[in-house]
Amino acid sequence: MAQANNTHDTDFYFNDELYVIQVKGTLFRVHQKFLTEHSRRFADMFAIPRPEDGAGCGLSDSNPIILDDVETQDFKSFLEAIYHSARPNFVMPAAGWLRVLCVAHRYDSPGMHARALDGMRAFRFQPGQDTEALACAEQHDIDVRLVDEALKYAITRQDAITAEELASLSTRLASKLCAAREKWAVDNALRGNSPDFGSDIATQGKPCDKCKAKYHAAPNIQKAIASIWGKKERAEDLAGMVIFSAP
180 is a domain residue: yes
- The residue-averaged pLDDT of 120-131 equals 95
In a domain, 20, yes or no: no
**In the prediction, which pLDDT does 67 show?**
95
| 172 Cβ neighbours under 8 A, 6+ residues apart | none
- Domain assignment of residue 25, yes or no: no
- Measured CA to CA, the distance from residue 239 to residue 201 in angstroms comes to 29
36 in a domain, yes or no? Answer: no
199 vs 177: CA distance, rounded Å: 17
Residue 57 lies in a domain: no
Distance CA 50, CA 226 (A): 53
pLDDT digits (tens, 9 = 90+) for 178-230: 999 999 988 876 665 555 554 544 455 555 566 555 555 567 888 889 999 98
Q: Which range scores top for mean pLDDT: 7-21, 161-175, 196-210? A: 161-175
| Domain-located, residue 50 | no
State the Cα–Cα distance between residues 102 and 120, nearest whole angstrom.
Answer: 13
pTM reported for the whole predicted model:
0.83
Q: How confident is the model at residue 34 (pLDDT cuts 50, 70, 90)?
A: very high
In a domain, residue 117? The reply is: yes
Q: What is the pLDDT of residue 75?
A: 97
pLDDT digits (tens, 9 = 90+) for 37-92: 999 999 999 988 877 766 668 888 999 999 999 999 999 999 999 999 989 999 99
The domain of 136 spans 72-232
Contacts of 65 (CB under 8 A, 6+ apart): 19, 20, 21, 22, 45, 56, 57, 58
Q: What is the pLDDT of residue 216?
A: 54
Structurally, the chain folds into a number of domains equal to 1
Cβ–Cβ under 8 Å, residues 158 and 198 = yes
- Structural domain includes residue 127: yes
Strands (DSSP E) contained in the chain are 18-23, 26-31, 65-67, 203-204, 215-216
